């Protein structure tokens, strides 16, 4: 059992009030936008059948990019493909995958590896917020698998291809919610079998894990032309939380949704981070929409990032160097 007191002490002195006040200020800033077209580039977006992913897919298509959307529902993927191809005259292909299933996650990476042309942008957007603990067939807590481990596996298996390309921007749709894991990762209880499960904390842990993995991928990609950055997409209108119970949905509809911004805030910000020349060599950073921001101290812990890397490889049955 890891000692909570030690974890608390480790990060407590690194917290500054100014981080929180800056975050609050940044939350109300309008995101920067980019007007450059993105003709014939290839963009991969996960979770493009609703919310932020759907708006982002349309944004890229409207600027001339071809898409590969990674979705879990065939019927809605066909509808998306037809809508985008008819309206924007670009190609919109899709790969089907449920990110809570290990084999399907691996298959996404294998399908992307088969593509001979360069992938210009990869947006890891798919995510879920659950109020009740669920385990995947592999025994992994579902929010951790969908919001973090799936993006880790895909990035890990693609890293050589991307390095050879000499150019690609990877964007992780992360969240200010990573701050809900204020004392860091609980490696002794990643599946939440020893603690009371809460939606906010499990979501926070998964988003924190993704930020830690960004640090390691950033080290790997130094000097290759490939960049990896994470962003908080704002508190925007989407279908998030739809897998939760009636009480949560009612609370979301009556309370949470009233303070939300249009989803275009997120899609414009994602387009800017993916395309703008301002971000040409920027990597390993966290943005609140388009504003550079310091994440919470546990997200900057290099030793923990190293430990998580090996734990993630283990969970996915991958071996370093693979
Ligand atoms: N909305 C916000 O205010 C907000 C704030 C901070 C961070 N975020 C992050 O933004 C991202 C997008 O969320 P959203 O708000 O747009 O919510 P959303 O409308 O629920 O979209 C989530 C997307 O992820 C897909 N997805 C969920 N579980 C999946 C699984 N097991 N396998 C494959 N795909 C799966 C969904 O597929 P279906 O279309 O089939 O449901 C959907 O396309 C998430 O990473 C979320 O954590 C959102």
Ligand 1 centroid vs 47 CA: distance in angstroms?
Answer: 6
Name residues whose C-beta falls within 8 Å of residue 163's C-beta, 6 or more positions apart in sequence.
220, 221, 224, 226
Residue 276: CA count within 13 A, CB half-sphere: 16
Cα–Cα distance, 313 to 101 (Å, whole number): 16
Q: Residue 237 is encoded by which pair of tokens?
A: 């209108």
Say yes or no: CB of residue 233 within 6 Å of ligand 1.
Answer: yes
pLDDT of residue 9: 77
Check: CB of residue 312 under 8 Å from CB of residue 149. yes
User: Is the distance from the beta carbon of residue 202 to the nearest atom of ligand 1 less than 6 Å?
Assistant: no
47 lines ligand 1 (CB under 6 A): yes
- DSSP bridge pairs for 124: 172
Q: Whose CA is nearest to atom 35 of ligand 1?
A: 126
For atom 6 of ligand 1, which residue has the closest CA? 175
Q: What is the spatial distance between Cα 183 and Cα 254, in angstroms, rounded to a whole number? A: 31
- 231 φ/ψ angles, rounded to the nearest 5 degrees: -145, 150
State the closest ligand 1 atom to the C-alpha of 129, by its place in the atom list counted from 1.
Answer: 47
Question: Ligand 1: does its nearest atom lie under 6 Å from the Cβ of 162?
Answer: no
pLDDT along the chain (322 residues), means of 10: 65 88 89 96 98 97 98 98 98 98 98 97 97 97 98 98 97 96 95 95 98 98 98 85 65 65 94 97 97 96 97 93 61
The token duo for 112 is 């992307």
Cα 204 to ligand 1 centre (Å): 15
| Residue pair 153/109 in contact by the 8 Å Cβ criterion | yes
Give the chain as a 3 state SS string: CCCHHHHHHHHHCCCCHHHHHHHHHHHCCCCCCCCCCCCCCEEEEECCCCHHHHHHHHHHHHCCCEEEEEECCHHHHHHHHHHHHHHHCCCEEEEECCCCCHHHHHHHHHHHHCCCCCCCEEEECCCCCCCCCCECCCCCEHHHHHHHHHHHHHHHHHHHHHHHHCCEEEEEECCHHHHHCCCCCCHHHCCCCCCCCCHHHHHHHHHHHHHHHHHHHHHHHCCCCEEEEEEECCCECCCCCCCCCHHHHHHHHHCHHHHCECCHHHHHHHHHHHHCHHHCCCCCCEEECCEEECCCHHHHCHHHHHHHHHHHHHHCCCCCCC
Q: Tokens 């004392």 label which residue?
A: 183
Predicted local confidence at residue 239, as pLDDT: 72
pLDDT at 3: 56
Expressed in angstroms and rounded, the spacing between residue 2 Cα and the centre of ligand 1 is 31
Q: Which atom of ligand 1 is closest in space to residue 52's alpha carbon?
A: 16
Is the shortest distance between the CB of 199 and ligand 1 below 6 Å? no
Pocket lining: 119 vs ligand 1, CB cutoff 6 Å? no
What is the CATH code for 35-315? 3.40.50.720
80, 86 in Cβ contact below 8 A? no
The closest-lying atom of ligand 1 relative to the alpha carbon of residue 238 is: 19
Which of 136, 236, 117, 269 is CA-nearest to residue 190? 136
Taking the centre of ligand 1 as the mean of its atom positions, its distance from the CA of residue 51, in whole angstroms, is: 7
Closest Cα to atom 47 of ligand 1: 127
Q: What is the atom index within ligand 1 of the atom nearest the CA of 53?
A: 16
Q: Spell out the residues 6+ positions from residue 195 whose beta carbon is closer than 8 angstroms to its own.
A: 186, 189
For ligand 1, the distance from its centroid to the CA atom of residue 31, given in whole angstroms, is 20
- Asked if residues 154 and 109 have their Cβ atoms less than 8 Å apart, the reply is yes
Among 152, 219, 179, 249, which Cα is nearest to 15's?
179
* 214 close to ligand 1 (CB < 6 Angstrom): no
User: Which atom of ligand 1 lies nearest, measured to the CA of 235?
Assistant: 3
Q: What is the pLDDT of residue 5?
A: 62
């Amino acid at each position: 059992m890891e000692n909570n007191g030690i974890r608390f002490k480790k990060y407590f002195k690194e917290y500054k009030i100014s981080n929180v006040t800056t975050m609050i200020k940044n939350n109300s800033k309008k995101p920067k936008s980019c007007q450059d077209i993105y003709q014939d580039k290839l963009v991969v977006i996960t979770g493009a059948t609703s919310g932020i992913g759907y708006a982002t897919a349309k944004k890229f298509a409207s600027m001339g990019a071809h898409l590969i959307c990674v979705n879990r529902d065939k019927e809605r993927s066909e509808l998306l493909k037809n809508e985008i191809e008819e309206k924007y005259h670009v190609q919109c292909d899709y790969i089907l995958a449920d990110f809570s299933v290990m084999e399907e996650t691996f298959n996404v990476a294998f399908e992307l590896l088969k593509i001979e042309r360069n992938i210009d942008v990869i947006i890891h957007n798919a995510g879920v917020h659950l109020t009740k603990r669920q385990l995947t067939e592999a025994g992994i807590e579902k929010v951790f698998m969908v919001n973090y481990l799936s993006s880790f596996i895909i990035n890990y298996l693609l890293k050589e291809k991307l390095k050879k390309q000499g150019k690609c921007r990877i964007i992780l749709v992360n969240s200010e919610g990573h701050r809900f894991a204020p004392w860091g990762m609980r490696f002794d209880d990643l599946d939440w079998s020893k603690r009371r499960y809460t939606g906010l904390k499990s979501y926070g842990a998964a988003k924190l894990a993704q930020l830690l993995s960004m640090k390691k991928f950033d080290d790997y990609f130094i000097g290759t032309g490939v960049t990896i950055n994470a962003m908080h997409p704002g508190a925007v209108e989407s279908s998030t939380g739809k897998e939760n119970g009636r009480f949560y949905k009612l609370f979301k509809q009556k309370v949470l949704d009233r303070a939300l911004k249009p989803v275009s805030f997120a899609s414009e910000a994602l387009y800017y981070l993916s395309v703008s020349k301002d971000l040409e060599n920027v990597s390993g950073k966290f943005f609140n929409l388009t504003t550079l921001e310091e994440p919470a101290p546990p997200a900057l812990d290099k030793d923990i990032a190293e430990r998580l890397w090996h734990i993630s490889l283990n969970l996915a049955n991958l071996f370093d160097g693979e």
